[in-house]
Amino acid sequence: MPSNRRLVSTRRLAPFAIIFILAFSATSLAQSLAEQPSKEIIERTTRGIGISAENREKLSNYQGKNGILSVKTVVMGGDFRVTTIVPFKANLADYHHLELARPISLVGGVLTSQASDHQLATLKSQFEERQIFKSVTVIDSYRPALTARPPTPQSKAGETSLSTGAVNDSLDSPIGSFADMDARDRQRLSHDQNGEQDLTLVTVIEVLDYAKGSRLKQALPLDLGKSILTVRLRYYDKDSGEEIGRQIVSGKSGGSSLLGPLSPRDALSGVADGFVDQVTRRVAASVK
């Protein structure tokens, strides 16, 4: 009799178990397909193509995100934390172009090239969707010591202001060459037409910690298989090569959210949200 009862119970539970397995497998498959960047995205990211448009008017009502206590993070997971190491020394609203350097792995071979391309594609698409910058491009690397523009004798006398773009030529400054005067005239004309400088913000991404995680382990009630990503973001003014800010953004995702392993979000989702939010809120603060 006990064996018959167990057999009956097993038969009753079998359909539910099959449904759960099929649902979990379908969700995992859909997530894996969604997480894999398409070949076109990877190729565009590798070539550094950036096509975007700027629309900052809608930022006037922007509300900054909370990386931990929000509906999205509680239900879907993928929370983030942001720590500002070097306070920003420039107004990010003055920058209208963004360049994302390929992530630098400080964790050895744990970060594969495919994972790096996935990170870049995710960050680039979110910035383009937000329309904070006129263009968002991907570059292989950035070395400020080599790309910084050295000051000229005229710029020492006060040629251009970084934040306003105003030309402050001194009356006692020496007369420049015809090429110098032509360049200044074109700079004045460009500033008068646009009312702004076309400055470029470069972000260097350094991966400090990375673990892809396991959806199967997250399904177990042992708090295992967490997805972890921690990056250090260095913000540079491309023209001067000066580092204008530095932050650490950490993201994680496990089975602690309501959807747990069924959620399509992971640690990269949190880091992308945190990165984009930090830039957006600083631009929005100047737009308001």
Strands 199-211 and 135-139: unpaired
252-267 confidence digits (pLDDT tens): 877 665 666 665 667 7
Closest to 162 in 3D by CA, of 233, 234, 94, 77: 94
Whole-number Å distance between alpha carbons of 240 and 145: 10
> ∠ CA(253), CA(82), CA(114), 5° rounding?
50
Q: For the chain, which residues make up each domain, given as ranges?
A: 1-35, 37-144+197-287
Helix (H), strand (E) counts: the chain:
9, 7
What is the rounded average pLDDT of the residues 11-18? 51
Identify any residues that bridge with 138 across adjacent strands, giving them in sequence order: 100
Task: Give tens-digit pLDDT for 212-240.
Answer: 877 676 666 666 667 889 999 999 999 99
Answer whether 67's CB lies under 8 Å from 78's CB: no
135 DSSP β-pair partners: 97
CA 54 vs. chain centroid, Å, equals 17
The pLDDT, as a whole number, for residue 189 is 62
CATH pick for 37-144+197-287 out of 3.40.190.10, 3.40.50.970, 3.30.300.130, 3.40.50.10610: 3.40.50.10610
In angstroms, rounded to a whole number, what is the distance separating the alpha carbons of residues 20 and 42? Answer: 34
Positive or negative torsion for Cα 150, 156, 161, 167: negative
DSSP state of 235: E
Whole-structure pTM over 0.85, yes or no? no
